A and B are shown apart, each in its own frame.
Chain A
Amino acid sequence: MTKRSLSDQAAIVGIGQTEFSKNSGRSELQLAAEASLAAIRDAGLDPSDIDGMATFTLDSSDELLLMRSLGLQEVNYWSRAPFGGAGANTTIMQAAAAVASGACKHMLVWRAFNERSGHRFGQPQDPGTTVGWNWYLPFGLDTPAKIYSLTFQRYMDRYGFTNEDFGHYPVVARKHAATNPAAWFYERPITLEDHQNSRWIVEPILRLLDCCQESDGGVALVITTPERAKDMPKPPVSIRGIVDAQLIHGHVMFNYYQDDLSRYEENYRAASRLWEMTGLGPSDMDVATIYENFSPIVFMQLEGYGFCKAGESVDFVKAGHIELGGTIPVNPHGGLLGEAYIHGVNNILEGVRQIRGEATNQVEGAEHALVAGGRGGMVLGKA
């Protein structure tokens, strides 16, 4: 790749988070401010050192109000990432590009919401809110669980997978969360039987325990150049590569209009771009965090990133490969099912902790972490 690619052009130098709960008792702006301040201090910086900011278009906190709360004196670059959970990867990519280009020196990325006690994204959409929803809402296709399930069905049919097969992931996620004190489901593991006894959300695809949590909380990161990172207190975590891959004919939340819905094409595209950019491959990864609004998407991404062949992910998971101690531990913090659902950004923080060597469920000597976000992803590594 050329020197201009985003390989090793930026490093994550600070992370911060609030507690994860179902009722934070304070405003989303306050959660954003608390998490951001923790990340800035973790980086050994003062708020006045931050001159760039990025979040999701869906984030309710206003940039100016957050500047005013934290004491950011002058911001020279700001941006927002469209879409839902895919925005997690995009904000980091924007931040990396901003510091690598010199547009700013220290980027703050945050995501904070009261997603359980306030506006619940998993609930049916309000009628007539967004262009494009008319093709779905009148027909009752009104929640992410249903929208994704029409794709999962084709995937299940192609490889003969069942809902019980997918249940093996939530069991792992909850096992990992059980030993993570920051996780909502700390000390609360589940069995496959619990999974099979949970109610259908979308028959015959998703049960309650296949779905991510609804959480209140905030997370934040600070990103700067590798040169500046050398002088900062925490071991710098290099962004070895970062990519997004959005394909034509996507509509509202998914792409029903490409030929073969059993194949998560955006994920395959992102994976091939990421391996090309980094010169690394699945066997080089020591740990992975994988975005999982719903459990089937973990299986699809294990295949898309090449940890196993297409159609072999269920056997791969059943064999224990994704558990702590396995060949590629996935979501050691418990992921979005076990730890919390902060729109996928908390999965990025776990990737940073694993490379620093400071995770609760640490994978010993982790050199490379894949942070997979469906249509995008990044590889984090020791600088």
Chain B
Amino acid sequence: MSSVIAPTPDGVDQYFWDGVARKQFLLQKCSACGALRQPPAPMCSECNALEWETQEATGRAKVYSWLVSHHPTEPDADPRIIVVLDLEEGVRFVANLVECNLADIRFGLPVELTWVEYPSMNREAPQILPQFRPTGDAA
């Protein structure tokens, strides 16, 4: 299994990686107007409120764009499928598609969240990542 780069939480995204460690897929939500923001920010661009909370995502999404990366060095010595997802909640999220044949990838493919633990390139401990796999449903 390929190893991955573990994140270095930067203060704005700490809640997300704390959630990942508990296998919770969290989105940042404005406490004032309810707007979801991904990637997160310290202030809501819709209403400028500073207060925010988290909302656990359903993990259901559709593939918006994708590519196969085969740069001949780590971390993608084995080809890796990178996707931009439209989450059911209405925000975009970049992740990986797993358990999927190349020939089966298409725009709009319905996918669901799964958690995968990878060796880390830059940490002793392994890194859990939110990954996505086809649900098998029709689009």
Contacts and interface: CB of A to CB of B under 8 A. Distances in A.
Interface string A157-179: 10000000000000000000000
Contacts of A324: none
Interface string A230-259: 000000000000000000100100001100
Contact of B8 (A127, A142, A153): A127
A132 B10 contact: yes
A152 to B, nearest CB: 9
A139 B129 contact: yes
Contacts of A256: 65, 84, 92, 94
A162 to B, nearest CB: 15
A138 interface: yes
A190 B8 CA distance: 43
A127 B6 contact: yes
B75 A140 contact: yes
B96 A135 contact: no
B66 A138 contact: no
A261 interface: yes
Contacts of A205: 67
Interface string B17-60: 10000000000000000000011000001000000000000000
Contacts of B133: none
Given A201-B71, A202-B67, A138 B7 contact: yes
Interface in A124-167: 124, 127-128, 131-132, 134-143, 146, 149-151, 153-154, 157
Contact of A127 (B67, B73, B95, B122): B122
A138 B6 contact: yes
Contacts of B45: 248
Interface of B: 4-13, 17, 38-39, 45, 64-71, 73, 75-76, 79-80, 82, 84, 91-92, 94-96, 107, 121-122, 127, 129
Given A137-B5, A137-B7, A140-B5, 13 more contacts: A127-B122, A131-B11, A132-B39, A134-B13, A135-B39, A139-B94, A140-B76, A140-B82, A140-B96, A202-B68, A202-B69, A203-B68, A256-B65
Which 8 pairs, one residue from A and one from B, show the smallest C-beta to C-beta distance?
A128-B8, A134-B7, A203-B68, A137-B5, A131-B10, A150-B65, A127-B5, A140-B80
